[in-house]
Structure 1
Amino acid sequence: MSTLSVNNPVAFYAPLKAPTYPTPSGDQKIAQHFWQCLELCGWTPVLASQLRSFSRHGELKHQKRLARLGKWQANKLIKHYLRLPKVQRPTFWFTYHLYHKAPDWLGPRVSQALNIPYVIAEASVSEKQLHGPWRYNFRATLAALHQANAVISLNPKDLTGIQPYCQATDVCHYLPPFMALPEQADLPQSTIRQQLAQQYGIPENQPWLLSVAMVRPGDKLASYRYLLNCLQSLQNVPWQWIIIGEGQALNQLKKEANTLGTRIHWLGKFETTQITPWLQTCDLMAWPAINEALGMAILEAQMYGLPVITGATPGVCSLFSDTPTQRGGLIIPQQQPENFKHGVYELLTQPKLRQQLSQQAQQWSHQHHSLFAAAQQLKQWLTPLIGNPD
C-alpha cells in the first residue's frame, strides 16, 4: 500500500491483473496504457492494491473468500487514507476491467467512505451469469456499475451491455482503444531486418508474416489453427511465419505445424521492447482474432505501419476506419477461411498493396488511437466530476 504524497493522486486498481503482474498480456498492457493516460491528463495514479479477485472456476466458496479479503483490504485502505491530509487522499478511484470472474471488492467501498468519484474502465456484463456459477460475483459487478460516476468502454459491444445497469446513460462513454505513438527507430528498417534475418536464420527476401499472441487452449489456439490451415494451402508462394508467444498449447501447435518445417520461426515469449523490431520490419500481421475482445497487438501493428489481415469482431473492427478505402488492413468476417486465405495471398504477393495499407494504418491509428487523443477525451469526461488537475 503506497502513501499518496503526490499531486492529484488517483487510486488505481485492476482486479484481474495489476499493471505490475509478472505475466505479460494484452489486458495488462491496456491497464498500463490507462495509467499513462491518467498521467497525461495531469493526475498521478498510485496502485491501491495488487489483490487479484479472479475466480477461474466459479466456486461459490472461493468467491466469498475473495469478497471477505477484498472488504478487509478496503477497510484497511479507508483507515489509511483518512489518516492522510485531505490533499494527499485519492482525487478519485479508478478501476480497470471488472466482470463476473474478477469483480471489484475495493473501489465501491473506498469511494463511498471517502466521498470521491468512482470510475470504471472496461466492464462487461454476461447476463447468463445471473443464475450461473459466478452469480455472487456477477451481482457485485452490477452493484459497482450502478455506483460508478463514469464507465468507460473500449469495446462498443460491451458498452451496449452495461448501459442498463448504470445510474444513467450519460455516465457511459466509448473510448477508442489507444496507445503511445512509436518512437523513431535508431537504425534504418533494412538494417534491422538484415540483423534479424542473420540472427534467426530467416530468408530476408521473402515476405515475413507476423503473429503475436499467447499459445493457450481455447480461442487463441483456434486462431492459430485457423491461420495454420490457411498457410498450409499457400505453400506455392514464398513466406516466412514468425510467431511470438508461448503457452500450454505450444507443443500441440508445433506438432500440427510440422508439415511447414523451417517456414515457421517460433520465437517464444518476448518483452514489449523485443517485439518492436519485428513490428518495424515484418511485411504483414495475420491474426484471425476468433472471439477477440479487442486485439491490442493489432492496433500496435498499425501504429508501426504494419498491414493487418484479421477476423471481424466488434472490438477488432473498432480499431479500423468504417470506410474500407481508409483501412490499414483487411477485415474478414468470421468463419470465412477461403476469403481469409485469399486476403493473405493478396498481401503476400502484392507489395504495392502492402505499402498502401501501411500508410493508411499509420495515418488512421496515429490520429484516432493515440495516447494523447485518449487523454483529451478522458479529461473532458472526468473533469466535471473531479475538477481540473493543476
Structure 2
Amino acid sequence: MKSPDDPVPSGDRTMARQLVKALQIAGHEVDLVSSLKCRLRTPGMLEEIALDAGREVDQVAARWRAQGVPDLVMTYHVYYKSPDFIGSELARRFDIPFVTVEASHAGKRDRDEWAAAQAISSAAIRQADLNICFTDRDAEGVAKLVKPERLAVLPPFADFSGLPAVRQHNDEAETVELIAIAMMLKGNKLKSFSLLAEGLRRLKSRNWQLTVVGDGPVRDDVEKMFDGLDLVRFVGQKDRAGVADYLANSDVLVWPGYREAFGLAYLEAQGAGLPVVAMRSGGVEAVVDDGRTGRLVEEGNVAQFAIAVDELIGNADLRNSMGKQALAFARGERGIAIASARLDALLKRVDIG
C-alpha cells in the first residue's frame, strides 16, 4: 500500500508512519526498504506490478550485499489488492525472518478474478514467521492459512503527541458541532457518505452543524448527496494540525464506517475527547467501545444511526461522559507508547538468529 513518505494523506500512510515510530520507540532501527506502490486497481495490473517489484527486489538486494543485511524484514498491509512481492522475496534470498502487519485474507477471492493476486498474498502470509493483525476479523481470515503461533493481534493505535487532549468547544453553545473526517473515494467511502447523508435527513434535532473534513476525486458526488442540508459545510483536506483544530472544536464524530478496516479517524476523535457514532461494520468494533466511548448501530441501518446521533445531540451529560471515557480509552489503552511495547514483545517471539 502507501509508503510512509507518500505525499497523499490517508489512513494507510498514517499507520505506516506510526508503525515506524512505534518500532523506533522500542529501540529498533528502521530502514524504509522500498517506496514502490504495489496497489492493484484492477487484476490486469498484476503482471506489470510484479515486473516492477522484481526489479526493485534486485536493487535492494544489491544494496544489502554492499551495506549489510537487516535482522528482519516487515511488510505492511498485505491483501489481495496489495500482494507482497518484495518483503517475502528478500526474506527468502537472505534467509532472514519475515513479518507482516495488517495482513488479511478473504476466501471468496480465491474463486474470482482476483485469484492470482490473492495467491501471491496468501503465499506471503503462509511464509511469514509472524502475521500481526489489527482486528479479530482479519485474524480470523489469516488463521485459515497459518498455525496459531504465527498469528497475533495488535489493537489499532494512534500517535497523539503534539495534539491537544481537551475538547475546547463550549457546552453552553446552542449548536452541537458534528464532524466527519474521510477521504472522498469510490467504493466503501462513498457508501459511508451516502449513509451519513441519509441519516442526517432523518434527524429530529435541528440544533446541529456538520463539518466534513476531507477531499478526493469524487468530492462533487459527495457534496450532491448533501444537497438541501444547509447545516453541512465542507472544509477540504487538512493537515494533522488542522484536523486536530477541528476536532478540538467539535462535539461528536459521526461516520458510518461502512466496511472500514478499522478507521484511524475514530481513535483520533476519541483522543480529542469526542464520542463517536458509527456502524458495526468491518473492523470498527476494534476502535469504538459501544456504550462506553460511543454508539455503534447495525450496519446500513440509517434509522438507528439517526436515533443515536439525536441522542448525543440532545444530551450534553452523555456527550461529556462518553467523551471523557473516549479520551481515556484512546490515549491510555490505544496510545503509541503501549502499542510500541506490545509490538516489541511480539517481535521478540520471532527468532532472528
Give the TM-score, by structure 2 length: 0.93
Residue 70 of structure 1 is matched in structure 2 by: 53
The Cα offsets for residues 209-243 of structure 1, whole Å up to 9 and x where unpaired, read as 00000122222122122221222233652111100
Residue 83 of structure 2 is matched in structure 1 by: 103
For 2:73, what is the secondary structure of its paired residue?
Answer: strand
For 2:41, what is the secondary structure of its paired residue?
Answer: coil
- In 2: Cα distance, 1:70 partner to 1:184 partner: 37
- In 1: Cα distance, 2:251 partner to 2:284 partner: 20
Matches within 5 A, 1:327-366: 327-366=292-331
Residue 145 of structure 1 is matched in structure 2 by: 125
CA contact (8 A) 1:308 1:330 kept: yes
Residue 83 of structure 1 is matched in structure 2 by: 66
Give, as a single letter, the amino acid of the residue that structure 2 aligns with 1:160.
E
For 1:374, what is the secondary structure of its paired residue?
Answer: helix
Residue 112 of structure 1 is matched in structure 2 by: 92
Residue 261 of structure 2 is matched in structure 1 by: 293
Aligned: 1:20 with 2:5: yes
Question: Which ranges of structure 2 fall in alignment gaps of 5 or more residues?
Answer: none
What's the CA shift for 1:312? Answer: 0.5
CA contact (8 A) 2:205 2:314 kept: no
Residue 220 of structure 2 is matched in structure 1 by: 251
Distance 1:70 1:173, change over 3 A: same
Aligned: 1:159 with 2:139: yes
Aligned: 1:178 with 2:157: yes
- In 1: Cα distance, 2:188 partner to 2:332 partner: 31
CA contact (8 A) 2:174 2:207 kept: no
- In 2: Cα distance, 1:35 partner to 1:301 partner: 22
- In 1: Cα distance, 2:283 partner to 2:304 partner: 20
Distance 1:39 1:231, change over 3 A: same
For 2:295, what is the secondary structure of its paired residue?
Answer: strand
Give, as a single letter, the amino acid of the residue that structure 2 aligns with 1:303.
G
Matches within 5 A, 1:271-286: 271-286=239-254
What's the CA shift for 1:175? Answer: 0.7
CA contact (8 A) 1:210 1:284 kept: yes
Distance 1:319 1:189, change over 3 A: closer
Q: Kindly tell me the number of residue pairs found equivalent between the two proteins.
A: 352
Residue 233 of structure 1 is matched in structure 2 by: 202
Residue 129 of structure 1 is matched in structure 2 by: 109
For 1:211, what is the secondary structure of its paired residue?
Answer: strand
Counterpart pick for 1:40 among 22, 25, 28: 25
- In 2: Cα distance, 1:45 partner to 1:182 partner: 20
Question: Which ranges of structure 1 fall in alignment gaps of 5 or more residues?
Answer: 1-15, 195-203
- In 2: Cα distance, 1:182 partner to 1:330 partner: 26
For 1:331, what is the secondary structure of its paired residue?
Answer: strand
What's the CA shift for 1:178? Answer: 0.4
Give, as a single letter, the amino acid of the residue that structure 2 aligns with 1:179.
A
What's the CA shift for 1:139? Answer: 1.4
For 1:181, what is the secondary structure of its paired residue?
Answer: coil
- In 1: Cα distance, 2:195 partner to 2:40 partner: 29
- In 2: Cα distance, 1:98 partner to 1:150 partner: 13
Higher radius of gyration, 1 or 2 = 1
User: In percent, how many aligned pairs have the same letter?
Assistant: 26
What's the CA shift for 1:306? Answer: 0.6
Matches within 5 A, 1:162-241: 162-166=142-146, 168-183=147-162, 185=164, 190=168, 205-234=174-203, 236-241=205-210
Aligned: 1:55 with 2:40: yes
Residue 13 of structure 1 is matched in structure 2 by: none
- In 2: Cα distance, 1:208 partner to 1:315 partner: 26
CA contact (8 A) 1:219 1:291 kept: yes
Give, as a single letter, the amino acid of the residue that structure 2 aligns with 1:65.
E
CA contact (8 A) 1:182 1:303 kept: no
CA contact (8 A) 2:276 2:288 kept: no
For 2:331, what is the secondary structure of its paired residue?
Answer: helix
- In 1: Cα distance, 2:167 partner to 2:18 partner: 26
Which shows bigger deviation, 251-260 or 141-150?
A: 251-260
- In 2: Cα distance, 1:38 partner to 1:279 partner: 27
CA contact (8 A) 2:101 2:133 kept: yes
- In 1: Cα distance, 2:43 partner to 2:214 partner: 28
For 1:364, what is the secondary structure of its paired residue?
Answer: helix
- In 2: Cα distance, 1:118 partner to 1:236 partner: 53
